[in-house]
Amino acid sequence: MSDLVLVPLDDMEREFRRILVKYGFNERKAEECARVFAENSLDGVVTHGVNRFPRFVRYVKEEIVRVDAEPVLKQRAGSIEQWDGCLGPGPLNALRCTERAMELAREHGIGCVALSNTNHWMRGGYYGWKAVTAGFAFIGWTNTISNMPAWGATDTRIGNNPLVLGFPGG
């Protein structure tokens, strides 16, 4: 007999949303953030879905994640923009910047958006998939604090900086 527990996507998303509202998210933000965690779990990346959710809630309680923060445009040069995430929820900041990059690409043929001062975006592939299903190519990456040792070392000196590449099929 397996210890595997299957939870319907809608139930998982509803519970995540309920908890996020309890900790200060408005309904819209709670719904969007819950969707990121639930869909990451559905896609089999539970490390950045259901397994990561308790830590995210702890960061909300500790005010490491500012639930009311909204990203702010810092500068713009045509199809290139730089945004300040204001320490808001990383998944929502990343989603906003992905959407903004697609808007810029519609207007200019390419959209490049940089985001700083934010929290963990969870699974970068989530945003690549959003762009690809909308018909856009996507290149996304992040930087992080030093959280792992270089090969052969014992102290943390490098970050695990994921790179996401997404291209629509033909």
Instruction: Name the H helices within 27-122.
Output: 27-42, 53-61, 90-108
Residue 89 phi/psi, 5° resolution? -60, 120
d(CA 125, CA 100): 17
C-alpha pair distances (Å), 1 with each of 11, 42, 148, 163: 24, 22, 36, 38
Contact between 76 and 107 under an 8 Å Cβ cutoff? The reply is no
Please classify residue 43 by burial: count the beta carbons closer than 10 Å to its beta carbon, then call 0-12 exposed, 13-18 middle and 19+ buried. middle
Catalytic residue among 29, 48, 52, 96: 48
Strands (E), 85-137: 112-116
Contact between 126 and 142 under an 8 Å Cβ cutoff? The reply is no
Tokens of 26: 């408005």
Please confirm, yes or no, whether 48 is among the known catalytic residues: yes
The catalytic site residues sit at 48
